[in-house]
Amino acid sequence: MAGFFRYPKVILGSYGVTITMTVFGTILGLFLIAMTGYALQRQDFPFRNALSFFIYFTTLFSAGMAPTYIWVSRYLNLKGSYMAVFLQLLMTPWLIILMKNFARSVPYEITESGKMDGADDFKIFITLILPMLKPALATVGLFLALGYWNEWYNSMLYLGSAVTYKPLQYYLYSIINTAAQLKSSMAGAAITITDLPSNTLKMATAVVATGPIIFLYPFVQRYFITGITIGAVKG
C-alpha cells in the first residue's frame, strides 16, 4: 500500500520542480534576453558589434559535452543542484539574435523621447520598449517554456540521485527505461510476458508530459506568428 501512494507523490513533486523552473526560468530569461537584444541594437552602445560577434560565434562552435560538464561540475560546483539545469537554459544565442532583430523594428525616436523627458535607460526599457516587444516576448517565452518543460538531458547528467524530485521529463524517461529493461530481462530469462503495457505506458507518459504545456499556446498564439515573421533574419 505504501508503494501505491509513493508514485503519485513523486510525480507531483516532479511536476512542482518542472513548473517552478519553467515559470521562473521563462520570466527571468525573457527579461535578460530582452535587455540583451535591446542593448545590442542600440546605436550608442559602444560594444554592440563585439558582443554580437561573440554571441553569434557560439552558434557556430560549442565547447562540447565534456568541457561543459567539467566546467559546471568542477569549477562552478553545481553538480547535484537544480541550478545546473536552470542556468544552462536561461539564455540561448539564437533567442538573443531573434530578440535583437525584432528590437530593430522599434523606432529609436522612442528612446530619444524618453531621454528628453529625463528618463534613464532602464526606465526607458521598462516603460517604453517592453510594451512594444510583446510579439517577440511571446515568441521567445514560448521557446523558453518549452525548453524548460522538455528538459531531461542535463537533469540526467547533473542531478542523478542527488535530489529527491527530478524534473518531470527525466522522471518519465526513467519510467520508460525501467519498463524496457524489465521486459528485456524477462525475455532473457525465458519468461513469457505479453501483458506488459509498454505502448500504453508510452501513451500515458506522452499525455502526462504534454498535457499541461499545451494550455500555454492559446495565450501566445496571436503573437507567435508576428514575432517569428518580424523578428526573423532577413537576407
In a domain, residue 205? The reply is no
In a domain, residue 113? The reply is yes
Task: Report the C-alpha dihedral over residues 208, 210, 211, 212, rounded to 10 degrees.
Answer: 110
The pLDDT confidence band at residue 235, using thresholds 50, 70 and 90, is: very low
Q: DSSP for 198-232? A: HHHHHHHHHHHHHTTGGGTHHHHHHHHHHHHHHSS
* Residue-level pLDDT at 116: 85
Residue 126 confidence (pLDDT) above 80: yes
- Euclidean distance between CA atoms 85 and 152, whole angstroms: 9
Count of domains forming the chain: 1
Q: In whole numbers, what is the pLDDT of the chain averaged over residues?
A: 79
SS3 content of the chain, % helix, strand, coil (to 5): 75, 0, 25
* Residue-level pLDDT at 166: 86
* Residue-level pLDDT at 34: 93
Neighbouring residues of 41: CB distance < 8 A, sequence distance ≥ 6: 48, 100, 103, 104
Instruction: Find the domain containing 146 and state its range.
Output: 16-164+213-230
In a domain, residue 191? The reply is no
**CATH number of 112's domain:** 1.10.3720.10
* Residue-level pLDDT at 224: 59
- Give per-residue pLDDT as tens, 66-101: 888 888 988 889 988 999 999 999 988 989 988 988
Q: What pTM does this model have?
A: 0.79
In a domain, residue 42? The reply is yes
In a domain, residue 93? The reply is yes
Residue 196 confidence (pLDDT) above 60: no
Mean pLDDT of 160-168: 82
* Residue-level pLDDT at 231: 47
- Name the residue type at position 89: L
Grid cell digits, residue 36: 540583451
In a domain, residue 195? The reply is no
* Residue-level pLDDT at 111: 83
Reading phi first (left if > 0) and then psi (alpha if -120 to 50, else beta), residue 61 is in beta
Mean pLDDT of 123-149: 87
- Euclidean distance between CA atoms 21 and 154, whole angstroms: 13
Is the distance from CB of 186 to CB of 193 less than 8 angstroms?
A: yes
- Euclidean distance between CA atoms 41 and 39, whole angstroms: 6
Between 162 and 74, the higher pLDDT residue = 74
- Euclidean distance between CA atoms 132 and 130, whole angstroms: 5
* Residue-level pLDDT at 200: 64
Q: How many CA atoms lie within 13 A of 188 on its CB side?
A: 6
In a domain, residue 218? The reply is yes
Look up cell 542527488; give the residue. 162
Mean pLDDT of 178-195: 60
- Euclidean distance between CA atoms 77 and 70, whole angstroms: 9
Grid cell digits, residue 185: 530481462
Grid cell digits, residue 141: 517565452
Mean pLDDT of 153-166: 85
Neighbouring residues of 173: CB distance < 8 A, sequence distance ≥ 6: 152, 156
Share of the chain above pLDDT 90, in %: 14
In a domain, residue 226? The reply is yes
CA-nearest of 18, 25, 26, 19 to 142 is 26
